[in-house]
Structure 1
Amino acid sequence: MTAALPDPVAPMLALPARAMGVITPSANLVVERVTAAVLKSFPDISAHYSRSPVRGSKDPFPASYNLDGMLGAARLLGDASVEAIVWNGSKGASIGFAHDRDLAAAITRETGIAATTSVLAIDADLQRRGITRVGVVTPYRRDEQERLCAVLEAEGYRVVAEAHSGVADNLAFMRVPPAEIAAMVGQVAAARPEAVLTLCTNFPAAFQVAALEAAIGLPVYDTTLAGVWAGLVAVGIDTRPGAAAWGRMFVGGRPS
């Protein structure tokens, strides 16, 4: 007797009751993949996406956000009545956290929806845990890395070690090999910071975070994972079910 095939419509009859909105850089192929993987542990919520222009190696807004583009992306998500909007991007770590605070406030004014960012989420959890000494790992060029580390220092963090891949193109960030990412994390961990930050949301570090934390004995804060975590927290979902797979950040805490 032939077994009955699964009903392809059945999964659609149990759609998640809740929804969060995510703005991601247009050249990014990592955010949606990571978010979809994480949300397998959180079946009560779905993620919905909008994009803001980020292309190549040149940024037409090097010291700020393209606010018109960002708010346009947020308005489109607002049409779907999502419960929270997250900018899952790492630019605030290179231009100053105040830009992210202003962006989140502007999105809320524009849409009436609570908003936050990956960088604000990391900053809030580091402050909650009293962590100030960090190691930094990115795919960036040296000049970009130096600017990012200077911003972190200005925000009150001491960068005790850093490693970077030297990649220039936004789309190419995702092609840094997993083994290279792990090696860079191990390199900065040798300086014994209180935490390691993997900064860049098109940098595929998220899938290794739990294993890296176990290997180095330190928390690893990945910006892409932080964006997903921040969205879950913003709508009041308990993130602890994701901790084993996605790292210590999911154990608790609340972004501002």
Structure 2
Amino acid sequence: MILPGPRVLATITPSGNTVVEAVTQAMLRAQPDVLPIFSRIAVHGAVDRFPDRYDLDGMLGAAELLSHAKPDVIVWNGSKGGIIGLDHDRDLVARITAATGVPATTSALVLEARLKARGPTRLGLITPYADAYQARLLDAFAGRGWVVSAESHLGLTDNLSYAAMPLERLRAQCEAVAPHCDVLLGWCTNCPVAALGPEVAGRPLWDATALGVEGGLALIPPPSAAG
């Protein structure tokens, strides 16, 4: 289908990710005038070649390719900023915009804004990660004042295994921590938590992938103001 003059939401996603594109497309079904396009950077398997920073050459290369389609926004739909620090995300979006002229955001920056808008919030953190990575993530959240009152992680390391988690296993994680938190947070963009819906066990469910899409949409001009 060819859309006449669509608004364009461009997304950078890890190469081993099989969730971001599906979630983005599903969320945009109700907005047929917004066209999703995607580019990938090399992140796969169990080893991150850049554990404490972004591969800026890869990121900016992906952003440049997306810019050829004249998108309205470029989103890094990845959860890594949650662990390496939001200054990396702020630097990344500044570099993307400087290089392409396109507004940009990330899943982690959208989470930060959501928490600021909501006020004090006890998070129930749901991830597929192994013990060491989860501990590092918890430390990073605490370091910026984000309160995690309960958590559940699955002990996995390979990002394809994250995407293969059955929804009932993810629902069980949510149900286990829901009584102890205000908001459930699924924090891995290659884990299909968004498929559980906006609420589980009486708690709002925020998902890293969905947050990235919502943040991108918020930066796209309304139809009357577009192009």
Which interval holds the TM-score relative to the shorter structure?
over 0.9
Find out whether 1:44 has 2:33 as its counterpart: yes
Q: Which amino acid aligns with 1:221?
A: W
| CA deviation map 1:62-116 (0-9, x unaligned) | 0000011000000001111101000000000111111111111111111111000
Give 1:122 shift: 1.3
Measured in 2, the distance between the counterparts of 1:124 and 1:92 equals 14
**2:49 and 2:95 mapped to 1: Cα distance?**
20
The secondary structure found in structure 2 opposite 1:19 is: strand
Alignment of 1:140-151 (within 5 A): 140-151=129-140
Q: Aligned-residue CA RMSD in angstroms? A: 1.4
Counterpart for residue 220 of structure 2? 235
- 2:177 maps to 188
> Aligned equivalents of 1:236 and 1:149: distance in 2?
35
Tell me the equivalent position of 1:242. none
More helix by share: 1
Q: Distance in 2 between matches of 1:149 and 1:55?
A: 22
After superposition, residues 189-204 of structure 1 pair within 5 angstroms as 189-191=178-180, 193-204=181-192
Among 226, 241, 256, the residue aligned to 2:211: 226
1:130 corresponds, among 109, 119, 132, to 119
Q: 1:200 to 1:16 in 2, by over 3 A?
A: farther
Q: Which amino acid aligns with 2:190?
A: N
Q: Compare 176-185 and 228-237 and name the one that shifted more.
A: 228-237
Distance 1:170-1:95 versus aligned 2 partners, 3 A rule: same
Secondary structure (helix, strand or coil) at the match of 2:197 reads helix
Deviation at 1:195, TM superposition (A): 1.1
Matched with 2:56 is 67
The offset of 1:217, in angstroms, is 2.1
Offset of residue 237 of structure 1: 4.8
Closer, same or farther in 2 for the Cα pair 1:131/1:43, shift >3 Å?
Answer: farther
Q: Gaps spanning 5+ residues in structure 1: where?
A: 1-10, 239-256
Q: Distance in 2 between matches of 1:127 and 1:20?
A: 24
Unaligned runs of 5+ in 2: none
Larger radius of gyration: 1
8 Å contact from structure 1 (residues 22, 87) kept in 2: yes
Q: Could you tell me the TM-score, scaled by structure 2's length? A: 0.94
Q: 1:23-102, aligned counterparts within 5 Å?
A: 23-102=12-91
Give the length in aligned residue pairs.
223
SS in 1 for 2:28: helix
Distance 1:16 1:198 in 2: 34
1:152 aligns to 2:152 (yes or no): no
| TM-score (normalizing by structure 1) | 0.84
AA matched with 2:188 = C
CA distance in structure 2 between the aligned counterparts of 1:202 and 1:15, rounded to whole angstroms: 32
Between the aligned residues of both structures, percent identity stands at 45
Counterpart position of 1:164: 153
